[in-house]
């Protein structure tokens, strides 16, 4: 067609002078060039349109993507318009009462269970085999039930016996206390632990802190106080009966134990009062502590508990509540002079509670009933009843952390995952403009590259009863912790286990840590579309990076900032969140949640920017089938999936906003979200004004 058109245009040229003929020839050549270019451009556009229509982002059809697709389809409600209610669009069909992080933590424990129940799949040395043997004995409920209270009675006899259940050979009070602390991990009057100080220079030091109580016994004016006491008394009576005690004596000794706990509770100084007074702890020597709280033989008790640390009277310790220790000492001295047998009962009953996870089902049921009743009376959720496998996994993981850490990393954080995580974290750090920050991912070096020559468990003796195995592991674990603090450790000490899901920022080391347990499906997988990894895990990681800047958001925290502009941005943030409707039964408290709200909003922005840079550098994006979402849309959908949960199940004291706000707040503040979902101006997810905070 183009050639015929050119031929038809030649006839006028024949009658023109030469000069005009040359001009016309030049014009004709220019016209031909333009027409040829137009034809090529038009053809190219048609060709590219055909290519993109038929060869757009490929669908990920792998098993891991299919599993993720099933989760997204089951959770979302695609009949809801994303521009009017993205929470319902992404989470409308979710009935999960726990958060995504809690669900992931449970799945990681499932993975540990599979590891522990397949010992033949691993090459183990004799020490590592003890982890599998311990787990197996924990799961052997038949043997535990058959032993009954016998192993516990033997432990009590080694402590001098119990006046209620049999012969009692009184030991020296401090001798009994020393044995409870060092051999059984029970601290009836105070807690003692070795840990870095909470303030610079963060050196490890022995710290003396308030004890932990089974029951809140402080506010006598509370309506349910008498009922709480009755339930606690019922629990202690049940323990005494299980140990074969005389019911009349048990009741008397149980009442005395409650009285002791109630008085100790009155001595406590609330943490907020400590902060208001500016005294989180006080450094004293053991000798000074002995003078101020003389009922306790501090040197002998601490030396037994923290061996092989060599202690002396001049050794410094950090005391968190000195007034409590003084009052506690006076109470103990008073009871020692009048009721030595009752004081022994108080310590024994507390020990039984501490050891209940290693006892038969009767003791555990007593504990469960107490938790249930207290939950009903205080309005607090009771401790969830874990299946036996989970209890055994948790105990095995606590006692054999080096072995389980190495096996979990080998199973769940292989080379492909590490490579994909490093790539994503690089883009996140560049996008967040964080300098001089160390980013630790996966697991510490000792788990990534375990030393086969290390003899971790030589001091553990398993059997003959599960309780004895449990106590041997308690002692071994404490000794390992102490030895680790005695050894030089130039790098950051991880505060989370490799299978944990909580990332954190360490102020003293300027290190942010992302454990391997967080970088798992459905948050992350090297086979996922990158939009998923950046939208889910990426936003979580960026959220954690922003914790570094929290202090800038407080009054006076950023001298170089425009204070007026910063305050205006924070006010804008609170108003932005407060404008969204909330489901019945949920509330928004901007003064409590503003730090996490700011991190949610900034985390999404950083992850989005990182994903954008990733697209500039690489090609080959994929998406999930059957969702009809582009990679950009899948990014935002994956961000929302992390937040999915039933809003009515959130703890009122949670420092995060309700899940509806954690989704709508940041997404509606992103112009990119409105652009990629084509949201009309003025809809819920495309408001007329936005906040600029980061």
User: Quick one: which of 661, 669, 667, 665 has its CA closest to 689?
Assistant: 669
Structure tokens at 143: 């043997």
> In the annotation, is 297 catalytic?
no
**Residue with the two structure tokens 């506690």:** 328
With b meaning 16 or more CB within 10 Å and e meaning fewer, what string describes 197-219?
beeeeeebbbbbbbbeebbebee
User: Quick one: which of 479, 232, 488, 262 has its CA closest to 374?
Assistant: 232
Name the catalytic one among 456, 544, 596, 597: 544
* 268 to 216, 687, 693: CA distances (angstroms): 12, 50, 41
Q: Burial, 300: exposed, middle or buried (Cβ in 10 Å; 0-12, 13-18, 19+)?
A: middle
d(CA 66, CA 40): 42
d(CA 496, CA 488): 20
User: Quick one: which of 448, 503, 469 has its CA closest to 392?
Assistant: 469
d(CA 22, CA 20): 5
Structure tokens at 152: 């516990």
> In the annotation, is 651 catalytic?
no
- DSSP-derived secondary structure letter, 122: S
d(CA 225, CA 216): 9
Name the catalytic one among 128, 231, 321, 600: 600
Q: Is 504 helix (H, G, I), strand (E, B) or coil?
A: strand
Give the DSSP H or E segment for 208.
strand 204-209
Query: Cis before residue 464, ω within 30 degrees of 0?
Result: yes
Phi/psi for 506 (5° steps) reads -95, 115
Is residue 148 within 8 Å of residue 405, measured between CB atoms? Answer: no
Please count the residues of the chain: 694
Give the active site residues: 544, 600
């Amino acid at each position: 067609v183009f050639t015929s058109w050119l031929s038809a245009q030649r006839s006028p040229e024949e009658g023109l002078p030469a000069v005009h003929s040359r001009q016309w020839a030049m014009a004709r050549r220019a016209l031909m060039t333009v027409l040829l270019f137009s034809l090529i451009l038009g053809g190219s556009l048609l060709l590219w349109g055909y290519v993109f229509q038929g060869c757009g982002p490929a669908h990920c059809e792998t098993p891991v993507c299919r599993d993720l697709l099933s989760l997204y389809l089951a959770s979302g409600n695609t009949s809801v318009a994303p521009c009017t209610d993205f929470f319902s669009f992404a989470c409308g069909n979710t009935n999960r009462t726990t958060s995504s992080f809690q669900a992931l933590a449970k799945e990681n424990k499932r993975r540990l269970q599979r590891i522990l129940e397949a010992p033949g799949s691993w090459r183990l040395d004799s020490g590592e085999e003890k982890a599998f043997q311990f787990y197996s004995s924990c799961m052997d409920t038949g043997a535990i039930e058959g032993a009954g209270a016998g192993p516990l009675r033997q432990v009590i006899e080694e402590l001098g016996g119990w006046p209620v259940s049999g012969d009692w050979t009184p030991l020296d009070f401090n001798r009994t206390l020393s044995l409870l602390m060092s051999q059984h991990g029970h601290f009836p009057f105070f807690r003692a632990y070795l840990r870095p100080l909470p303030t610079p220079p963060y050196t490890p030091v022995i710290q003396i802190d308030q004890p932990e109580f089974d029951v809140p016994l402080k506010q006598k004016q509370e309506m349910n106080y008498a009922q709480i006491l009755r339930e606690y008394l019922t629990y202690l009576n049940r323990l005494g009966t299980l140990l074969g005690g005389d019911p009349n004596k048990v009741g008397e000794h149980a009442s005395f134990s409650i009285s002791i706990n109630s008085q100790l509770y009155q001595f406590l100084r609330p943490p907020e009062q400590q902060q208001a007074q500016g005294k989180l702890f006080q450094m004293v020597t053991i000798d000074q502590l002995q003078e101020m709280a003389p009922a306790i033989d501090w040197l002998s008790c601490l030396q037994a508990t923290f061996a092989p640390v060599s202690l002396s009277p001049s050794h410094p310790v950090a005391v968190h509540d000195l007034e409590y220790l003084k009052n506690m000492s006076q109470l103990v001295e008073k009871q020692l002079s009048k009721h030595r047998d009752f004081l022994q009962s108080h310590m024994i009953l507390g020990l039984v509670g501490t050891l209940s996870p290693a006892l038969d089902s009767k003791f555990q049921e007593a504990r469960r009933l107490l938790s249930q009743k207290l939950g009903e009376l205080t309005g607090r959720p009771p401790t969830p009843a874990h299946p036996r496998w989970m209890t055994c996994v948790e105990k095995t993981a606590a006692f054999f952390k080096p072995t389980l850490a190495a096996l979990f990393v080998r199973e769940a954080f292989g080379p492909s995952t590490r490579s994909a995580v490093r790539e994503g974290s690089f883009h996140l750090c560049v996008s967040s403009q964080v300098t001089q920050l160390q980013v630790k991912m996966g697991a510490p070096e000792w788990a990534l590259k375990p030393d086969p020559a290390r003899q971790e468990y030589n001091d553990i003796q398993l059997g003959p009863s599960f309780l004895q195995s449990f106590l041997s592991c308690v002692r071994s674990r404490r000794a390992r912790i102490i030895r680790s603090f005695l050894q030089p450790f130039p790098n950051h000490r991880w505060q989370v286990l490799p299978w944990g899901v909580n990332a954190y920022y360490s102020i003293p080391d300027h290190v942010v840590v992302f454990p391997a347990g967080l970088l798992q499906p459905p948050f992350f997988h090297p086979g996922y579309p990158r939009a998923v990894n950046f939208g889910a895990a990426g936003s979580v990681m960026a959220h954690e990076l922003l914790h570094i800047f929290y202090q800038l958001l407080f009054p006076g925290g950023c001298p170089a900032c425009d204070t007026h502009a910063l305050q205006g941005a924070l006010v804008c943030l609170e108003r932005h969140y407060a404008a969204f409707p909330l489901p019945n039964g949920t509330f928004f408290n901007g003064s409590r949640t503003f730090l996490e709200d700011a991190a949610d909003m900034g985390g999404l922005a950083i992850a989005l920017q990182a994903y954008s840079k990733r697209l500039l550098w690489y090609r080959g994006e994929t998406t999930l089938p059957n969702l009809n979402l582009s990679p950009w849309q899948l990014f935002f959908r994956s961000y929302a999936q992390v937040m999915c949960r039933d809003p009515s199940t959130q703890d009122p004291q949670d420092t995060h906003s309700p899940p509806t706000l954690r989704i709508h707040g940041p997404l509606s503040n992103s112009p990119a979200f409105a652009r990629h979902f084509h949201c009309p101006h003025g809809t819920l997810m495309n408001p007329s004004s936005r906040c600029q905070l980061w």
